[in-house]
Amino acid sequence: MTGKIKVMSIFGTRPEAIKMAPVVMELARHPEEIETQTLVTAQHREMLDQVLHLFHIVPDYDLNIMAAGQTLFDITTRAMQGINEVFQKDRPDLVLVHGDTTTTFAGALAAFYHQIPVGHVEAGLRTHDIYSPFPEEMNRRLTGGIATLHFAPTPTAHDNLAAEGVPERRIFVTGNTVIDALHHTVRPDYVLPPELSQVDFEHHRVLLVTTHRRENLGEPMRHVYRAIHDIVDEMGDVEVIFPVHRNPKVREIVREELGGLAHVHLIDPLEYEPFANLMARVDIVLTDSGGIQEEAPALGKPVLVLRDTTERPEAVTAGTVHLIGTAQERVYAETKRLLTDQA
């Protein structure tokens, strides 16, 4: 017996990797007390690998479960089967999972089946609507029901857990690890990739747009893109940078609504490092992402959230994030208001 605690961090997507990287690196700084291991499901293969490389993380176990056309059922069953096989041969003392992905829930449930305690990083976020966002809201609630240790990023998240009956001694308000990741990544001398060389950051106001939520597919996305089209048509000093999600349904709608439009730069998804540095240089962010709601305000950027609910109400209360939904008229009006305020 070495007396060390074996801690296994489990994640599978780029956002999880970004937020868990500071935790993994900190655990590795205490080798005399902690044996740290990393298991990735690779639920999102390419996007995950970018972050692992940036933070110099080499997983101990890589399940590589990603497959074309994968469903939530596919991800859940393949992740649980792979994690089960790892636990059978290399049982940790504690499992850490992050947030609200399908890997998060699968990792927590697999640990529960093996009676291994679970620590939930970014615990306690709630929209109080199980289908918004889907499936993330239920993933984090179910993970919270399994977890022994709850690492809440904010007092509001703490209060959500306390209201659900989680004992006070099991809740720890830690702040958000995404801030640590940004400090590691953003720097003023960073050179943006060539596909952004035509953007006039000096003389134009620049909007950054990202959309990918399942619940926004179809008409909600079309309404957002038409509002952006109207803004660019009306205001000649506005440029839009849109890293388009790889989902074929998203790409088709974007191409139909914004393809060929002057001052709208449709680019492939960026790796985390260029994306974070781009975010630091734009004027306004429009997104349906959860993580960007935290990252952009930390960089001093106003955010328009293209959703009807948010699990991150603190920034809304502070006024740095505005929850606007996807109605074309509202997206147009709120974007124009921010641009007018900045003029």
In order of their start, the domains of the chain are: 5-185 (3.40.50.2000), 194-342 (3.40.50.2000)
Mean pLDDT score, 150-161? 97
What is the structure's pLDDT at 3? 84
Q: Please say if the pLDDT value at position 40 is more than 90.
A: yes
Q: Residue 69: pLDDT band by 50, 70, 90 thresholds? A: confident
Name residues whose C-beta falls within 8 Å of residue 271's C-beta, 6 or more positions apart in sequence: 47, 50, 51, 54
Among 132, 322, 325, 138, smallest CA distance to 219 is for 325
pLDDT category, 172, cuts 50, 70, 90?
very high
- Hey, which residues are catalytic here? 100, 122, 136, 212, 214, 245
Residues 251/269, Cβ–Cβ less than 8 Å: no
Convert 130-175 into a string of H (helix), E (strand) and C (coil).
Answer: CCCCCCHHHHHHHHHHHCCEEEECCHHHHHHHHHCCCCHHHEEECC
Contact call for residues 267 and 243 (beta carbons, < 8 A): yes
How far apart CA 120 and CA 171 sit, in angstroms, is 10
Q: How far is CA 33 from the centre of its chain?
A: 30
Distance from C-alpha of 287 to C-alpha of 327, rounded to nearest angstrom: 14
Kindly report, residue by residue over 256-308, the tens digit of the pLDDT.
999 999 999 999 999 999 999 999 999 999 999 988 999 999 999 999 999 99
Mean pLDDT score, 317-328: 95
What would the 3-class secondary structure string for 236-290 be? CCEEEEEECCCCHHHHHHHHHHHCCCCCEEEECCCCHHHHHHHHCCCCEEEECCC
d(CA 157, CA 312): 9
Question: Any idea which residue has 């179910």 for tokens?
Answer: 142
Helical residues (DSSP H) of 280-319, grouped into ranges: 292-298, 313-318
Q: Model-level pTM greater than 0.85?
A: yes
Q: What percent of the chain has pLDDT over 70?
A: 99
Token duo for residue 118: 């679970």
Asked whether 78 and 63 are in contact (CB, 8 A), the reply is: yes
Pick the residue with more confidence: 87 or 14?
87
pLDDT of residue 1: 44
Instruction: Look at strands 61-62 and 34-40 and give their pairing.
Output: parallel
Cis link prior to 135 (omega < 30° from 0)?
Answer: yes
Residues 211, 250: Cα–Cα separation, whole Å: 8
